[in-house]
Structure 1
Amino acid sequence: MFSATSRYHDVPTARLRLPDGRTVTYVRRRPMPDPDALTTVAVHAVAPHERLDHIAARYLGDPEQAWRIADAHRVLTPAELTAHPGRRLRVTLPAGLPGAAALLAPGGGTG
């Protein structure tokens, strides 16, 4: 239902039968990962007016992976992460994720 890079990729779906007979499929609640179990691939100091999607593109190669950075910091509002220039953000991937080793190599995931 969702691409392999989506935060909802492995989240199961459920069905709800409405009183009028229609069935609605929905995504169940996504459990938040333990930030300590994530692999840090970089630490980034936020620059003025910087956006989380730009940071994700720089380090992870895909702006749509900004959710991975937000997961590492357990925020509900991702804009909080870039609101204060100088804040240091962990850029993370799940432990054991294929491709993480390439990002950890010298020069990997930095541009």
Structure 2
Amino acid sequence: MFEPTSRYHGIATANLTMKDGRTVTYVRRRFLPRPGDLMPIGEQVVVSGDRLDRIAARQYGDPEQAWRIADANGAMRPDDLTAVPGRRLRIALSAGPQGSLGPTPS
């Protein structure tokens, strides 16, 4: 259902039968990994005007991988990660739904 690089890849789906008989398929909840459980591969210092998608493009070659940076830094509000220039962000590989490491960045 999702691309291999999606944060939702491999997460099970479930079905809900509505009162009118329609069946709705949905993705089960994704639990955030503990940042310390992820394999660090580097660090990025935030500069003025940085955004997570731009950092992800530099680090992973794909701006849609910004979720990896948020996971590696335990961010519930990802925009907070780039709010203060000089902050050091962990860059890490993601853990898949079964705990396997995600693809290696290029």
Both structures adopt the same fold (TM-score exceeding 0.5): yes
What pairs up with 1:10-25 in 2 under 5 angstroms? 10-25=10-25
The 4+ residue runs of structure 1 with deviation greater than 6 A are: none
2:89 is paired with a residue of what secondary structure?
Answer: strand
Shift of 1:51: 0.4
The CA RMSD over aligned residues, in Å, is 1.6
Tell me the distance in 2 between the aligned counterparts of 1:17 and 1:72: 36
In the alignment, structure 1 segments of 5+ residues that lack a partner are 104-108
The equivalent of 1:74 in structure 2 is 74
Tell me the distance in 2 between the aligned counterparts of 1:68 and 1:94: 6
Overall identity of the aligned pairs, in %: 56
Conservation of the 8 A alpha-carbon contact between 2:94 and 2:102: no
Shift of 1:99: 5.0
The equivalent of 1:41 in structure 2 is 41
Structure with greater proportional helix content: 1
In the alignment, structure 2 segments of 5+ residues that lack a partner are none
Count the aligned residue pairs: 102
String of CA shifts for 1:43-69, please: whole Å, max 9, x gaps: 111000100011011011111000000
Tell me the distance in 1 between the aligned counterparts of 2:80 and 2:11: 25
TM-score, normalized by length of structure 1?
Answer: 0.84
